[in-house]
Structure 1
């Protein structure tokens, strides 16, 4: 399965290096090609300039343009709106999850997240290209 996924690219937009590198390691071991951005502006530039990104894993609290702004920009751009975004945030209030999903996020992972939940969310998002309600723990 890992070989088949190698062509799938995931962009991780996360300002905390430890979390960004954790996601990188977990997803690389699963066979994904992982791109990393440390802020919203760089992440948006990367998603706009690459045709290979299969999905985006997006933190909400970012320097520069925050995750809300990145999500909004992606969903209003016809060239980017089809790229699924899974929000990956420590913000855990029900209204924040609902807002992200209403804005077009494919799912919501609450940090801290374990490797199994991260792998499941990414796999479901890439392979189903739809809502992954079973993959965002704590959203009951």
Structure 2
């Protein structure tokens, strides 16, 4: 049986040394993981509903919702921000919107654009149409080098834009400015 391998690449900013930025790149064969996750998803649909989401990181800090389908990216963001923020996570825009409606006092949203079920553009459109959510700033996270993508998200109501891979210091400063103004 010939099975095509699935690879996942994760890039993490590690710091600076001698005026150079250091990144760690991990390559993983996730073929078996994908099969396991598919089986777990099937099981989740038949089992009882999950417990409500729990905030991670600084419990007494302002809440930030990360809407990102890639679990590794969510982990990197959590690591960068968890000392200064209480972190909530959503794997797609639909879950993110539901969480915005159910959670109180979310200070900002970090939003990926390309996601399954509901992408970042649809999330922005629906959030902007809801008067109760309009005041929550959204920082868009994207790998796109295109200025069109950045301009489109800003026109749709995003408050800022950060390119992947993240420079932790720039990300924190940008988010801090958005939360401070809110």
TM-score, with normalisation over the residues of structure 1? 0.84
The structure with more strand, counted as a fraction of residues: 2
Comparing 54-63 and 37-46, the one that deviates more: 37-46
Question: Unmatched 5+ residue regions in structure 2?
Answer: 1-58
Structure 1 unpaired stretches of 5+: 130-140
Bigger Rg, structure 1 or 2: 2
Q: Distance in 1 between matches of 2:145 and 2:93?
A: 20
Question: Structure 1 residue 83 and structure 2 residue 136: aligned?
Answer: yes
Counterpart CA distance in 1 for 2:171 and 2:75 is 13
Corresponding residue pairs, total: 125
Mapped pair 1:94 → 2:153: no
Which consecutive segments of 4 or more residues in structure 1 shift more than 6 A?
A: none
Counterpart Cα distance in 1 of 2:66 and 2:136? 13
Q: 1:134: which partner in 2?
A: none
Greater RCO, CA 8 A, separation 6+: 1
Could you say which structure has the higher helix fraction? 1
1:23 pairs, out of 73, 77, 85, with: 77
Report the TM-score, using the length of structure 2 for normalisation.
Answer: 0.65
1:52 and 2:105 are equivalent in the alignment: yes
